[in-house]
Structure 1
Amino acid sequence: MRQRIQSRLLGWHAVVIAVCSVTALAAYAQGGTPPGDLDKLTQREIVVGTKEAAPFSMKSPSGEWSGISVDLWRRIADKQNLKYRFQEEDSVPALIDAVAKGKVDIAVAALTVTAGREEVLDFTSAFYGTGLGIVVPASGLVASWAPVMRALTSFSFLQAVVALIGLALLVGLVVWLLERRHNEEFGGSVTKGLSSSVWWTTVAMTQRGIGHQGPRTVPGRFVAMLWMVGSIIAIAVFTAGITSALTVRQLQGTVAGVTDLSKVKVGAVSGSSTEDTLTRLRIRFDSYPTAKDGLQAVRDGKLDAFVYDRPLLAWLINEDFGSRVQLLDVTFDQQHYAFALPPGSPLRKPISVSLLNEVRSTWWGDTLFRYLGNKSQ
């Protein structure tokens, strides 16, 4: 009996070992390094995938790589005595695909951690937190009539106009009821009398002069007096509101925040996590190969707004666009950057530990200031 139980236990043990072996081999066949094989991996030259995304990864004319992410990787690799070489990819999807298939051992760029990417990759601990920014044409480049027309067709403007017309009709009706039997100017048929009364009310409201016409009865004149005083206040409030709205529109331009993006023509970088965010917010957009292409479209008037990672936009504007476009003081959709590795990579744990130590050092603060100045978010 005891021998039979021992035989069964040995059998189950063999099955477990076989399953684990098959799983490890499957991961290896997909391009990953078998877990626990860290020594073998660190003894060879590690392939570091990257793509240009200033100021996190930048390539000089001589082919030398630098940037926030690259400098962080170099510091970690030097401390762990890792041999490596860079392999450039032409797009974010290509870089993610190269990591997922094990063509590169680690991706070092400006990669945002997302749920979709986490399904096919492993990420280290995050080293930078940021969000999306919005770039719009500089104030002087915005068509002057666009903000005006947008304000004049807004719901609040139409609501105010309808309210004024409604008040004029109501007061005109009251004046007609009080004057129709005592004032021939408001007498006659219902259509003639009522139209004359409403016309007088409208003229009185606009302060364009009422001539000899007007109510003659005491109640009618009392209502007319209240209406003329009240209409002055109503017109003043209406005028102030419209002037304020137009002034704000002129100062802020067509786009002032995230809520305005659904009303204008928006651009994003193809294959970036920005596309996922805009799709989730139900904002239509056009895709561009690079952020620089999108900013050029904004500058040329082809786009009303371009959305991308805020620090990358700030860098590009400062380097190439100056005052021709402007970055709004708006940040939304919190994001985190991290290094990406193939699933099950033994590099993940030691690199994450080193990364966390570095981002808490004075060296990291100096690095961020060197590339971003005071705008580190």
Structure 2
Amino acid sequence: MPRPQPATSSRARSDRLPWSVVANVVRGLVWALLVCMTWSPAQAETAKLRVATRIVPPMVVEKNGTLTGFSIELWNSIGRQLNRETEYVVLPDVRELLDAVGHGQADLAIAAISITSEREDRFDFSQPIMNSGLQILVRGTAVNVEANPLRELAQLFFSRTLLVWLGIALLLILVPAHLMFLVERTHHSGIIPTRNYFPGIFHAMFWAAGTLATQADQMPRHWMARIVAVLWMFTGVVFVAFYTAQLTASLTVQQIKGPINGPQDLVGKTVGTTRGSTATAYLNEVKAQMVEFEKVDDLYNALLNHEIDAVVFDAPALLYYTTHDGRGSARTVGEVFHKEDYGIVFPTGSPLRKQVNEALLGLRESDRYQRIYEEWFGKR
């Protein structure tokens, strides 16, 4: 008789999956893997790039709802090199640009964004796209500077020039005063009423000072003293002429230059800049009374409306303003200081950084970069 089979063998056969089902699952996994390896990168390469920027002429200019400017023209050329379309996201200031990149709301940011060590710790930067720095903007022009007569007079009285000339006058007075004292005190009707050094020297100094400033109210009696008096009067004429010329030159220079001529004059002044810019840290260091504005246009309007004494901002933007909208009403003073470089900002580890750097090098080698620069800033 045949041996009976265990009762569990039929149940075990029923629990096993058919080979066709297993094969279908394997094929599905392989297909999904191939899609991930081939289709996803291709989609990423053709997706629009979200580029954060801000309006800051001449880097970014808005005309009739269209963006242009140095940064926009440069990025459009880079985008063509990468064969990528661009979707611009306009934000008000640098702080929001950086936040958009950091939070994944933008793939990169380009405008007047300075490369700093603090920002380098949080983001990746491209190669520098422009050399820049800070400069000072004030009201008026080189031949039409706002004047405050009382303030300028006070500054003149306590100026280094006036103190130097007063010191020279004092030294000059001491020489003829002592000669006059030594000679005239021995004459019975001389202009020195006493033989004692004090107060006799004061009488002599008063005569010397009066002769230097105007003319002698008394003539000495001794013949030698009269020779000294004639020489001293001639010296006084020359001294007054030189002093008047120096004083006039100082007043002219002060009238042309104005009260703010460089970073050293910002202490205690009300100075404006944009929120989140690198100028904010600098103004805090020099103890200026800083006022931050969200938009660059608000910054310029505050200066012209006498709400602030000066503007400290990126030099390219200020130079562009003085030759366009601010021509005749504002001017830059001093040299460019706190020099910096502009760059394009990426999230840390972004693969776009290498591609953009390669595109930048290509634009420089083909002179396309130079043509864009000259279009907005002129020839260097």
Q: Provide the rounded CA distance (Å) in 2 between the counterparts of 1:322 and 1:144.
A: 23
1:82 partnered with 2:84: yes
Q: Provide the rounded CA distance (Å) in 2 between the counterparts of 1:178 and 1:279.
A: 63
Q: 1:245-264 to 2 correspondence within 5 Å?
A: 245-262=250-267, 264=269
Q: Which residue of 1 aligns with 2:50?
A: 47
Deviation at 1:226, TM superposition (A): 3.5
Deviation at 1:170, TM superposition (A): 4.9
Residues matched between the structures, number = 335
Q: Which residue of 2 aligns with 1:346?
A: 351
Q: 1:280-319 to 2 correspondence within 5 Å?
A: 280=285, 282=286, 284-289=288-293, 290-319=295-324
1:365 partnered with 2:365: no
Q: 1:72-221 to 2 correspondence within 5 Å?
A: 72-139=74-141, 140-143=144-147, 145=149, 146-182=151-187, 183-188=189-194, 193-206=200-213, 208-211=214-217, 213-221=218-226
3-state secondary structure, aligned to 2:369: helix
Is this contact kept in 2: 1:126–1:337, CA < 8 A? yes
Q: Provide the rounded CA distance (Å) in 1 between the counterparts of 2:49 and 2:82.
A: 12
Instruction: Report which stretch shifted further, 304-313 or 237-246.
Output: 304-313
TM-score, normalised by the number of residues in structure 1: 0.79
Deviation at 1:218, TM superposition (A): 4.2
Q: Provide the rounded CA distance (Å) in 2 between the counterparts of 1:328 and 1:38.
A: 52
Change in CA separation of 1:348 and 1:155 when aligned onto 2, cut-off 3 Å: same
Q: Which has the larger radius of gyration?
A: 2
Instruction: Report which stretch shifted further, 311-320 or 343-352.
Output: 311-320
Aligned residues with identical type, % of pairs: 26
Deviation at 1:341, TM superposition (A): 0.4
Give, as a single letter, the amino acid of the residue that structure 2 aligns with 1:204. Answer: T
Q: Provide the rounded CA distance (Å) in 2 between the counterparts of 1:178 and 1:312.
A: 70
Is this contact kept in 2: 1:127–1:359, CA < 8 A? no
Q: Provide the rounded CA distance (Å) in 2 between the counterparts of 1:38 and 1:220.
A: 103
Q: Which residue of 1 aligns with 2:279?
A: 274
Instruction: Report which stretch shifted further, 341-350 or 160-169.
Output: 160-169
Change in CA separation of 1:173 and 1:131 when aligned onto 2, cut-off 3 Å: same
Change in CA separation of 1:180 and 1:98 when aligned onto 2, cut-off 3 Å: same
Deviation at 1:368, TM superposition (A): 2.4
Q: Provide the rounded CA distance (Å) in 2 between the counterparts of 1:325 and 1:141.
A: 9
Q: Provide the rounded CA distance (Å) in 2 between the counterparts of 1:253 and 1:147.
A: 9
Instruction: Report which stretch shifted further, 153-162 or 48-57.
Output: 153-162
Deviation at 1:224, TM superposition (A): 2.9
Is this contact kept in 2: 1:255–1:261, CA < 8 A? yes
Instruction: Report which stretch shifted further, 136-145 or 166-175.
Output: 166-175
1:58 partnered with 2:65: no
Unaligned 5+ segments in structure 1 are 1-36
TM-score, normalised by the number of residues in structure 2: 0.78
Instruction: Report which stretch shifted further, 296-305 or 125-134.
Output: 296-305
Q: Which residue of 2 aligns with 1:11?
A: none
Q: Provide the rounded CA distance (Å) in 1 between the counterparts of 2:148 and 2:203.
A: 40
1:142-183 residue CA offsets vs partner (Å, 9 max, x unmatched): 115254543342122222223313432453244223322324
Instruction: Report which stretch shifted further, 344-353 or 128-137.
Output: 128-137
Deviation at 1:39, TM superposition (A): 6.2
Is this contact kept in 1: 2:93–2:274, CA < 8 A? no
Q: Provide the rounded CA distance (Å) in 1 between the counterparts of 2:271 and 2:243.
A: 33
Change in CA separation of 1:38 and 1:196 when aligned onto 2, cut-off 3 Å: farther
Q: 1:324-343 to 2 correspondence within 5 Å?
A: 324-328=329-333, 330-343=335-348
Q: Provide the rounded CA distance (Å) in 1 between the counterparts of 2:161 and 2:314.
A: 33
Deviation at 1:217, TM superposition (A): 2.9
Q: Provide the rounded CA distance (Å) in 1 between the counterparts of 2:55 and 2:62.
A: 7
Instruction: Report which stretch shifted further, 119-128 or 171-180.
Output: 171-180
RMSD after superposition: 2.7
Unaligned 5+ segments in structure 2 are 1-39
Change in CA separation of 1:231 and 1:141 when aligned onto 2, cut-off 3 Å: closer
3-state secondary structure, aligned to 2:83: coil
